[in-house]
Amino acid sequence: MLTKNFLLKIFEAFYMERWNDKIRPMPLIELDKQAHKMFIAYFIGKFSEKEKGFSWIEIIEGGIFELLQKIVLTDIKPPIFYKIKEDKEKYEKLNEFVLNELADLLKSVSPEFYGKFHAYFKNKKSNLNKKILSAAHIYASKWEFDRIEDLNKHSYDLDIIKKDFENSINKFRDLEGIKQLELNPLYKKFMDLCGQLRFQARWANSHRIPKTSVLGHSFFVAITVYLASLDLELNQKRKINNFFTGLFHDLPEVLTRDILSPIKSSVKGLDSLIKKYEKEQMEKYVHTLIPENISLEIRFFTENEFSDVPERDGKLVKAADDMAAYLEAEIAIQNGCTNSAFPKALKLISEKYKKGVLPL
């Protein structure tokens, strides 16, 4: 079942900084990168979902498994990790270490989930779903590099990194989604827009350790609601829709910023006004960038996202969203942050779920 210890392990990725041997305009956080990767994997996957062997469940769970692997192997720099990966024997031993580190945590979710994690890294053969995740990983890393390149133009390894990215992307140019991203500047703008959610910190001006972005928060919510969907033994379509609703539910905030719930509820009718404005802005700036089939799904994931509708459990997504906020506030207090907003949030959320719906 979904446990607090498992969520705390995922939360560790909010502390992990990327490119920390380079000059950065802002901290680049691991969970944000993994979140952006899943946005990109969704987009690439939409162009491959009719192909043989394609599976949204494998992409979702593969993304969670790869995040967990990264959390355990945080100290290994990417060039060294890729070298190890080339040596099958060493990579297998490394993954056995990861499995042993996470065994109890994964088994607490379910023996089946533990078995899937083991099989994912035991199976050395790539398939379409792993290929999509790998392509999304490279694209998200390259997106970060493009934003720090100018600040590091005198770095000794800059040309090497650029060449490595080009060689890596070449391996995925047979994927239709990658072709489309390179050919259509509007699609690239959409991916850039999704990435901008990492620039928006949650909890507005409250001092908090660690700072969490809207982007990383969205993936955290997606993982939480997906695991809750497993616990409830929901059908496959609901699991998939719940995950992507969790992932995309805050996308409109790239246009409106993260407006705190107390502000939304302080003025009668303000919340509905904000939702109306969000919808107008999404129509103007987001839906014009993407194909119609993706646009329809994004509407499904972002409009009335906390309402239960056929094949989606909006109230469960909301519970996951509240759970993420609860942990953000609780951990901030544990880390010595004294803003009064945090105890208030804990009290409000605890009262809301006092019957034990929220497994904390």
Question: Considering Cα of 109, then 251, then 72, then 357, what sign does the dihedral take?
Answer: negative
Contact 2, 327 (CB under 8 A): no
What pLDDT, on a 0 to 100 scale, did the predictor assign at position 267? 55
Contact 206, 342 (CB under 8 A): yes
The torsion region of residue 257 among left (phi > 0), alpha (psi -120 to 50) and beta comes to left
Beta strand 312-313 with 308-309: parallel, antiparallel or unpaired? antiparallel
Residue 255 has pLDDT above 90, yes or no: no
Query: Which stretch of 57-61, 141-145, 205-209, 243-247 has the lowest confidence by average pLDDT?
Result: 205-209
- Which candidate, 183, 74, 70, 177, places its Cα nearest to that of 131? 177
- Which candidate, 180, 166, 248, places its Cα nearest to that of 44? 180
The amino acid occupying position 240 is I
> Which tokens in the block code for residue 216?
């990383």
Q: What are phi and psi of 201, to 5 degrees?
A: -80, 145
Q: Which residues of 100-117 are buried (b: 16+ CB within 10 A; e: fewer)?
A: ebbeebbeebeeebbebb
pLDDT tens figures, 146-203: 999 999 999 999 999 999 999 999 999 999 999 999 999 999 999 999 999 999 999 8
Domains of the chain: 4-352 (1.10.3210.10)
CA angle 277, 278, 283 (to 5 degrees): 100
Contact 17, 28 (CB under 8 A): yes
Element (H, E) at 99: helix 88-109
pLDDT band at 206 (very low <50, low <70, confident <90, very high): confident
For 216, residues 6+ apart whose C-beta sits below 8 A from its C-beta are 13, 14, 29, 31, 32, 34, 35, 198
Contact 25, 35 (CB under 8 A): no
For 340, residues 6+ apart whose C-beta sits below 8 A from its C-beta are none
Contact 245, 301 (CB under 8 A): yes
pLDDT tens figures, 290-342: 999 999 999 999 999 999 999 999 999 999 999 999 999 999 999 999 999 99
Element (H, E) at 344: helix 341-352
Length of the chain measured in residues: 360
Q: How many CB atoms lie within 10 A of CB 195?
A: 21
Q: For the residues of 126-180, what is the DSSP string, one character each?
A: --HHHHHHHHHHHHHHHHHHHHHTGGGTT-TTHHHHHHHHHHHHHTTTTSHHHHH
How far from the centroid of its chain's Cα atoms is residue 103's Cα?
22
Q: How many CB atoms lie within 10 A of CB 183?
A: 9
pLDDT tens figures, 136-160: 999 999 999 999 999 999 999 999 9
Contact 16, 77 (CB under 8 A): no
- Measure the CA–CA gap between 339 and 23, rounded to whole angstroms: 31
- Measure the CA–CA gap between 115 and 117, rounded to whole angstroms: 5
> Which tokens in the block code for residue 151?
């600040």
- Which candidate, 15, 14, 39, 24, places its Cα nearest to that of 145? 24
Comparing 82 with 285, the larger pLDDT belongs to: 285
Rg (CA), the chain: 20
> Which tokens in the block code for residue 68?
């967990």
CA angle 73, 74, 75 (to 5 degrees): 95
pTM of the model: 0.93
What pLDDT, on a 0 to 100 scale, did the predictor assign at position 164? 93
